[in-house]
């Protein structure tokens, strides 16, 4: 087990290194931050040179990357070009709202997708199954920002039940969490359905019936338990997508999270903030996937973490 975790941590380091390369160079394709900062006036060449040197942008690009990497190893994410605040403190302030939003979205997705998927599989070929599959299709086809805007329009503007934007009270969670969760539940319910269908065809389900167990015991204890294995994997992978989703949803709902911080920073070409934010998102994704892998050995006795399967 310890060996397995160590190996996965090593993988995580490589992932973060690759992400650091990608984000470092791709953000520099967006343009010169100094030009954005002086967008209002007509600065002298001297002022431009001074600011460029101050931000460290006069160094060769490989040197800049080296400094970024060196600081990263000591968990120093640098300081914002715009505000001079440390990126670490900015991340610390925004990571909470983002994680809570992602968790709430995942919770909504699970609460919707499991009942829909299970009923669809058990009542295969019936009107209920058709309804469940239509729901999945709609969920998969909807762009989440559009759904967010529609929810704001109906439940905030027209009905006034929930706040349209902002953060703070439980009510603020309702619309963004539903927006995130509904989209994910479309694809998740489809996966729950197909996993359940596959499992319910297995011989051990017939065995369970032959024991005289009640149908719901067979479905949940013998069916769902085994259908969870592929589903949980998927949810782990999907958590990264969910985080990506929060970037857009935070924008729509003015949610003070990591995603909105990154978007604002991209617009301002605030390199360190973008780099730090993306690296932290990558770390969260890697950590969640590690947790999913560890949960395997609990869900599936045939897999022992560490690969020492007989």
By the criterion CB under 8 A, which residues form the site for another protein?
202-204, 206-214, 222, 225-226, 299-302, 310
Question: In 3-state terms, what secondary structure has residue 86?
Answer: strand
Measured between alpha carbons, how far is 195 from 203 in angstroms, rounded to an integer? 15
* Residue written as token pair 């015991």: 217
Q: Supply the minimum distance, in Å, between the C-beta of residue 124 and another protein.
A: 8
Q: Which residues contact 193 (CB under 8 A, 6 or more apart)?
A: 116, 117, 118, 120, 121, 129, 132, 133, 136
Q: Which is nearer to another protein, 36 or 213 (CB)?
A: 213
Measured between alpha carbons, how far is 71 from 88 in angstroms, rounded to an integer? 12
Q: Supply the minimum distance, in Å, between the C-beta of residue 204 and another protein.
A: 4
| CA nearest neighbour of 270 among 30, 14, 3 | 30
User: Contact, 306 vs 21, CB < 8 A?
Assistant: no
Q: Which is nearer to another protein, 45 or 210 (CB)?
A: 210
Q: Which structure tokens are listed for 76? A: 């120093």
User: Contact, 129 vs 156, CB < 8 A?
Assistant: no
Q: Which structure tokens are listed for 279? A: 């690296």
3-state helix, strand, coil split of the chain in percent (to 5) is 75, 0, 20
Q: Which is nearer to another protein, 41 or 301 (CB)?
A: 301
Q: Which structure tokens are listed for 48? A: 């431009």
Q: Supply the minimum distance, in Å, between the C-beta of residue 177 and another protein.
A: 31
Q: Supply the minimum distance, in Å, between the C-beta of residue 302 and another protein.
A: 5
Q: Which is nearer to another protein, 74 or 310 (CB)?
A: 310
Q: Supply the minimum distance, in Å, between the C-beta of residue 194 and another protein.
A: 18
Q: Which is nearer to another protein, 65 or 296 (CB)?
A: 296
Q: Which is nearer to another protein, 3 or 221 (CB)?
A: 221
Q: Supply the minimum distance, in Å, between the C-beta of residue 252 and another protein.
A: 41
* Residue written as token pair 């990591």: 258
Q: Supply the minimum distance, in Å, between the C-beta of residue 218 and another protein.
A: 10
Q: Which is nearer to another protein, 60 or 301 (CB)?
A: 301
């Amino acid at each position: 087990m310890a060996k397995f975790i160590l190996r996965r941590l090593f993988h995580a380091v490589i992932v973060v290194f690759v992400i650091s390369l990608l984000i470092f160079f791709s953000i520099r394709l967006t343009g010169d931050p100094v030009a954005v900062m002086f967008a209002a006036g007509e600065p002298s060449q001297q002022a431009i040179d001074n600011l460029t040197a101050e931000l460290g942008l006069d160094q060769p690009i490989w040197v800049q990357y080296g400094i970024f990497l060196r600081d990263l190893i000591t968990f120093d994410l640098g300081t914002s070009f715009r505000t001079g605040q440390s990126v670490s403190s900015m991340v610390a302030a925004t990571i909470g709202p983002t994680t809570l939003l992602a968790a709430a979205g995942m919770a909504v997705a699970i609460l919707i997708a499991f009942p829909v998927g299970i009923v669809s599989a058990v009542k295969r070929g019936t009107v209920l199954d058709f309804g469940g599959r239509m729901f999945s299709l709609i969920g998969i086809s909807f762009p989440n920002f559009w759904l967010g805007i529609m929810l704001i329009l109906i439940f905030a503007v027209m009905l006034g039940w929930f706040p349209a934007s902002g953060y703070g009270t439980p009510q603020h969670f309702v619309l963004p969490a539903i927006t995130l969760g509904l989209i994910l539940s479309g694809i998740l319910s489809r996966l729950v359905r197909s996993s359940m269908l596959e499992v319910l065809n297995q011989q051990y389900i017939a065995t369970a019936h032959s024991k005289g167990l009640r149908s719901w015991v067979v479905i949940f204890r013998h069916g769902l338990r085994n259908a969870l294995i592929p589903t949980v994997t998927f949810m782990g992978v999907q958590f990264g997508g969910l985080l990506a989703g929060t970037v857009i949803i935070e924008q729509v709902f003015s949610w003070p999270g990591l995603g909105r911080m990154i978007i604002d920073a991209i617009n301002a070409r605030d390199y360190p903030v973008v780099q730090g934010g993306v690296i932290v998102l990558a770390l969260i994704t890697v950590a969640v996937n590690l947790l999913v892998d560890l949960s395997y050995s609990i869900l599936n006795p045939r897999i022992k973490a560490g690969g020492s399967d007989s």
